[in-house]
Amino acid sequence: MNTLFNSKYIITSHPKSIFCNISLENLQKSIEITNQYLINLPSFFSTTDSFYEILNQRNLSGFLGEIFKKVICELDKHFVLNPHPDGRPDILYLQDPFVLKHFNEKCFDQITKLPLRSFLAPFQFDGIEVKASIGSLRGLAKDFPIGKSRINDISSINYWAHHRHACKLLGIYYDFCENNSGMPQIKALFFCELVEDDWNKVSLGKAENKKTSNTSLNKEGISKLKKSMILCSNEQKYINFFKKNNFLM
């Protein structure tokens, strides 16, 4: 098993940041567990140098988000993964006994026990949407193979979605970490409350291709993101980027 480069995280508490139901302790622990898992995973498949290339950049952000969601739900049993494949938000907050009862009794078909889209997409009570981003490159993607750090070459951090919808966003920022053999590692977390108007107009793509519809945060959304960093790696190059781009005060 490989050793995790002991990256420390700064707790940032922006005065305008909103309260996240997941404790900072659990968020820090979730980062640690996810990062360690990301380092170890390739060796389980004996494809050390190519595991994330096989997965490729297109899938990596989603994959990383999936791991992080699972870890959060394991550490805090008040959260459960949305059981519907198209469900939103991604993780549901079931601390309130009334909400828990609603979840158990209404959100699954009574006979087949399958999750019901009508109650889970969207879920009408509290929850958190989890998304991961490696940032928007200034240069060409071909010059940044899997494993090469991008922090010095990104222009911004943004998040993508299929729909413009209000949500509580737990945003992961990750990079390929030179101190851990180029493995993807979480370097910062954001938490903010978004409204529909914080997203750009949905791009539908072309009818003849298979690209799904998507949208990203607009100026207002990015502005919220800049006030919502809750954890950040203490490595200087990340601090420099976040300060330069007004993510850190």
Partner 1 sequence: MKIVNPQKISYFNGDLSTNLIVEAAIKVNQKLASAQLDTAKEVPLDIYDIIDLRMLSGLIGEMFIAELSSISQGKLLKNPDIDGYPDLCDISNIKDKDFKNYPFNYFKAYPHGGIEIKNTFGVKKPKTDLKPRESRLGKIQKKLVWKAHHQYTNNLLALHSDYISNIPQIIGIYYANNLTVSDWTITQKPKEGSTMTSFCQTETSGFMKIKQGLICFKEGIGYEHFI
- Do residues 26 and 73 make contact, with C-beta atoms less than 8 angstroms apart? no
Pairing mode, strands 167-177 and 183-194:
antiparallel
Member of 5, 21, 24, 37 binding partner 1 (CB under 8 A): 37
**Minimum distance between the CB of residue 247 and partner 1, rounded to whole angstroms?**
27
Residue 45 makes contact with partner 1 by CB under 8 A:
yes
Member of 21, 36, 218, 245 binding partner 1 (CB under 8 A): 36
Element (H, E) at 26: helix 24-44
64/78 Cα distance (integer angstroms)? 21
**Minimum distance between the CB of residue 197 and partner 1, rounded to whole angstroms?**
25
Residues 46-65 interacting with partner 1 (rule: CB under 8 A): 46-47, 50-51, 53-55, 58-59, 63
168/138 Cα distance (integer angstroms)? 28
> Which residue number, 16 or 77, has a Cβ lying nearer to partner 1?
77
Residue 206 makes contact with partner 1 by CB under 8 A:
yes
Angle at 147 between CA 41 and CA 155, to 5 degrees: 125
> Which residue number, 56 or 240, has a Cβ lying nearer to partner 1?
56
Residue 33 makes contact with partner 1 by CB under 8 A:
yes
**Minimum distance between the CB of residue 210 and partner 1, rounded to whole angstroms?**
5
**Minimum distance between the CB of residue 88 and partner 1, rounded to whole angstroms?**
18
Using the structure block, give the residue that is written with the tokens 């240069």. 139
Residue 246 makes contact with partner 1 by CB under 8 A:
no
DSSP letters spanning 49-86? TTHHHHHHHHHHHHHHHHHHHHHHHHH-TTEEE-SSTT
Give phi and psi for 47, each to the nearest 5. -130, 45
**Which stretches of the chain bind partner 1, using CB under 8 A?**
1, 29, 33, 36-37, 40-41, 44-47, 50-51, 53-55, 58-59, 63, 66-67, 70-71, 74-75, 205-206, 208-211
